[in-house]
């Protein structure tokens, strides 16, 4: 049964998690956690998202707390290290937070930074980790992307380049340019009305998917099956989730028939403190399982009252939107 709003927020907590480094332009990650009959769920759309888009994130949190995960096909999921747009000199210390990782995703195309800084950061990561991928978050033009990918691959291969440009048409052009680098789509899938459009257009070799913006774990599994028809593999990634949200990402990845690439589900190390103390990666993989937040940490990390009110009102609006939709997993 789809929960009423009163049931949804009866045990809700709003948190403010300090971060070790700036990521996506923020140094504090806010999230609303809800508890239902199946456990805990998370609602944490980035503040710039409108209510229609944010409602998908609420649906994902409700799915986790009221339905629980889909059946698992594996007990652990390989994960990549995540390297923000930091100076190359800071890379070794940051990578210490990702023990055993054999893959790293490196942020590039940061505003105010140069291609030379991107190349230096990627090359420093290569000194420590064998498999490297980059993520531009749509920050390059077509010409910039082609130039950058050729420069970055002068000293080593890339596993893939994630969202080098913003539009589907640009991704198609970059992919056709013959850089020798696989193109992965992220925003062109999770923020698109038609998640398959970029694949049909020939703009992606890999699909990066996130549980919250797609509306839940089951939605990720269903989309993965559709993408498989086009020969496009899936990488399940984090939306800078707390340990609660991360457990849903791991559960979705664990439910996929194939998982050829490490997933972007190791971002917990970017927080100074998380809502639960979870196991560290073993041989670059995280265990799959439910997360129970620590009551002391929930109290310690509680957001100020005005932010709690803001998040609850946002959740109310999104709940109202969901109530007007046909939700096949709920009656």
Residue 326, annotated as binding a ligand: no
User: Which residues have CB under 8 Å from 250's CB, separation 6+?
Assistant: 77, 236, 263, 265, 286, 287, 288, 289
Is 111 in the active site?
A: no
Does residue 33 contact residue 293 with C-beta atoms inside 8 Å?
yes
- CA neighbor of 80 nearest in space, from 21, 43, 116, 130: 130
C-alpha distances in Å from residue 308, one per residue of 6, 15, 135, 260, 265: 15, 8, 32, 40, 26
Does residue 318 contact residue 51 with C-beta atoms inside 8 Å?
yes
DSSP of 150-176: HHHTTTS--S-EE--BSSHHHHHHHHT
Per DSSP, the chain holds a count of helices (H) and strands (E) of: 13, 12
How far apart are alpha carbons 206 and 233 in whole angstroms? 5
Q: First CA to last CA across the chain, in angstroms?
A: 5
Pick the catalytic residue: 97, 105, 121, 210? 210
Does residue 265 contact residue 77 with C-beta atoms inside 8 Å?
yes
Residue 135, annotated as binding a ligand: yes
The number of angstroms, rounded, from the C-alpha of 84 to the middle of its chain's C-alpha atoms is: 14
How far apart are alpha carbons 327 and 331 in whole angstroms? 7
Residue 118, annotated as binding a ligand: no
Pick the catalytic residue: 29, 35, 97, 107? 107
Known binding residues for Mg(2+) are 135, 162, 186
**Which residues are marked as active site?**
107, 210
Known binding residues are 135, 162, 186
């Amino acid at each position: 049964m789809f929960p009423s709003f009163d049931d949804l927020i009866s045990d809700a907590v709003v948190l403010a998690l300090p971060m070790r480094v700036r990521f996506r332009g923020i140094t504090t990650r806010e999230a609303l956690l809800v508890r239902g009959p199946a456990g805990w769920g998370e609602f944490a759309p980035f503040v710039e998202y409108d209510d229609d888009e944010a409602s998908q994130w609420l649906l994902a949190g409700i799915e986790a707390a009221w339905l629980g995960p889909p059946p698992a096909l594996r007990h652990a999921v390989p994960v990549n290290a995540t390297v923000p747009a930091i100076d190359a000199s800071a890379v070794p210390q940051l990578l210490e937070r990702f023990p055993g990782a054999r893959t790293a995703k490196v942020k590039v195309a940061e505003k105010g930074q140069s291609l030379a800084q991107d190349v230096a950061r990627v090359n420093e990561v290569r000194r420590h980790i064998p498999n490297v991928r980059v993520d531009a978050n749509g920050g390059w033009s077509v010409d910039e992307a082609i130039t950058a990918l050729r420069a970055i691959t002068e000293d080593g291969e890339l596993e893939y380049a994630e969202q080098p440009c913003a539009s589907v048409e640009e991704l198609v052009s970059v992919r056709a340019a013959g850089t020798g680098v696989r193109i992965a789509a992220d925003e062109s899938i999770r923020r698109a009305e038609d998640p398959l459009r970029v694949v049909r257009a020939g703009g992606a070799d890999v699909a990066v998917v996130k549980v919250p913006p797609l509306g839940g774990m089951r939605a990720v599994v269903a989309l993965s099956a559709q993408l498989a028809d086009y020969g496009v593999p899936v990488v399940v990634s984090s939306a800078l989730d707390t340990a609660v949200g991360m457990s849903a990402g791991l559960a979705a990845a664990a439910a996929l028939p194939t998982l050829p690439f490490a997933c972007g589900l190791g971002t917990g190390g970017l927080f100074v403190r998380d809502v639960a103390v979870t196991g560290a990666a073993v041989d670059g993989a995280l265990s799959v399982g439910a997360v129970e937040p620590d009551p002391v940490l929930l109290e310690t990390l509680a957001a100020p009252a005005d932010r709690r009110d803001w998040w609850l009102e946002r959740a109310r609006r999104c709940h109202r939107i969901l109530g007007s939709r046909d939700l096949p997993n709920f009656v």
